[in-house]
Amino acid sequence: MINDTIKLAIVGFGNSAQAFARLLIQKVGEVKDTYGKEVLVTAIAGNRKGSIINHDGIDLSAVLETVQSQGVFDNPLAMSTFELIERSGADVVIELSPLSIESGQPAIDHIRTAFSNGMHVITANKGPIAWALKELSETAQKAGKHFLYETTVMDGAPVFNLVKHTLRGCKILSFEDILNTTTNFILEELGKGNGFDEAVLEAQRRGFAEADPTMDITGMDAAAKTCALINALMGGDLTPPMIETKGIQDITEADLQKASEKGCTIKLICEGRKYEKGARGAVLPKPIPLSHPFATVRGTSSALCIETDLMGKLTIIEHDPEIEQTAYGIFSDLLQLF
């Protein structure tokens, strides 16, 4: 049973964390009225922004204003993120540090530290789910704590909660999905006759492609998400290098034109399938018939089709998500604790 006053420590204060902070400001009164819970943020580790702690509650509006105007916190403390977690007095750690697809670190160690200090964990970081879900879930269970990660794959769209809470008794046999918005957008632009580099620059200009989009273009980001889905939905114990992966870097306008002549388009498709002994996954550019629901997934939208033993196939499409949907996913996990 969680306390009536819930203290949060936020690890990482990039775009997702700031969007969550803004949402929390809007909803804190509603949470109090609806659930009888007071939510306080007592610590923030902001990477290059510094670290701050206030056990009576941090003024999030003031922090957001300062970060926007100065780029750093006022009077930041000199301490490691691990020390901040230990000193935060928090009930819940919100782990939102930058992704490391190569290892899932340091987020994995942040989460371990939180559990060892008796804290629940919510993360939007797919790295720990792709690299260490089994271990972290077992650690959480032994500690009697929750480990929640709805936002790691499809922003705020209910994927893991759908399976856990709504599809009780169903086994997930396989899935197909489109989960990388950058590659989806680039392929769409190529189909319009725009050049590859031009499409990348436009994706960067719109703010959903990184300054270095290599992880997206090569399929690495999608492989991490595929791994996370297999580990969470199928009980797998895979890591990203175990996912067969091919990106879109070699796809040309001519390839899309040939696909169009055959009544298809090309999408970067993530796949996972459960077998008697384990599970396998792949990320590959594939021709998709124009009659397929995935053919209509355009721009920054994403889609997931899961095949179950009892409910057949179910498809979720998230239309043009923004950073606010990521913030909602974190917030929805927080509500799971009440």
**β-strand partners of 177:** 270, 304
Q: What is the pLDDT of residue 1?
A: 62
- 10 Å CB burial of residue 22 (0-12, 13-18, 19+) is middle
Tens digit of each residue's pLDDT (9 = 90 or more) over 161-201: 999 999 999 999 999 999 998 999 999 999 888 899 999 99
27 is catalytic: no
Q: What is the pLDDT of residue 205?
A: 86
Spot the catalytic one: 7, 225, 267, 274: 225
In a domain, 276, yes or no: yes
Helix H, strand E, coil C: the string for 148-187 is ECCHHHHCCCCCHHHHHHHCCCCCEEEEEEECCHHHHHHH
**Number of independent structural domains in the chain:** 2
In a domain, 161, yes or no: no
Regarding whether 87 and 99 lie in a shared domain, the answer is yes
Regarding whether 300 and 204 lie in a shared domain, the answer is yes
Regarding whether 315 and 170 lie in a shared domain, the answer is yes
In a domain, 279, yes or no: yes
**β-strand partners of 109:** none
In a domain, 235, yes or no: yes
Tens digit of each residue's pLDDT (9 = 90 or more) over 262-284: 999 999 999 999 998 889 999 99
Domain carrying residue 188: 166-320
- How far apart CA 173 and CA 96 sit, in angstroms, is 30
Q: What is the mean pLDDT of residues 297-320?
A: 94
Regarding whether 309 and 185 lie in a shared domain, the answer is yes
pTM recorded for the entire structure: 0.93
In a domain, 52, yes or no: yes
CB of 273 within 8 A of CB of 280?
yes
In a domain, 30, yes or no: yes
Q: What is the pLDDT of residue 102?
A: 86
Regarding whether 314 and 178 lie in a shared domain, the answer is yes
Q: What is the CATH number of the domain that holds 19?
A: 3.40.50.720
In a domain, 283, yes or no: yes
Regarding whether 206 and 116 lie in a shared domain, the answer is no
- The pLDDT of residue 207 is above 80: no
Regarding whether 279 and 330 lie in a shared domain, the answer is no
Assign residue 34 a region: left if phi > 0, alpha if psi is -120 to 50, beta otherwise? alpha
**Percent of the chain beyond pLDDT 70?**
100
CB of 311 within 8 A of CB of 272?
no
Regarding whether 316 and 187 lie in a shared domain, the answer is yes
Query: How sure is the predictor about 288, in pLDDT bands with cuts at 50, 70 and 90?
Result: very high
Query: How sure is the predictor about 46, in pLDDT bands with cuts at 50, 70 and 90?
Result: confident
CB of 146 within 8 A of CB of 337?
yes
Regarding whether 231 and 208 lie in a shared domain, the answer is yes
Q: What is the CATH number of the domain that holds 248?
A: 3.30.360.10
Regarding whether 224 and 123 lie in a shared domain, the answer is no
Regarding whether 141 and 171 lie in a shared domain, the answer is no
Regarding whether 271 and 132 lie in a shared domain, the answer is no
What is the token pair recorded at 163? 């399976």
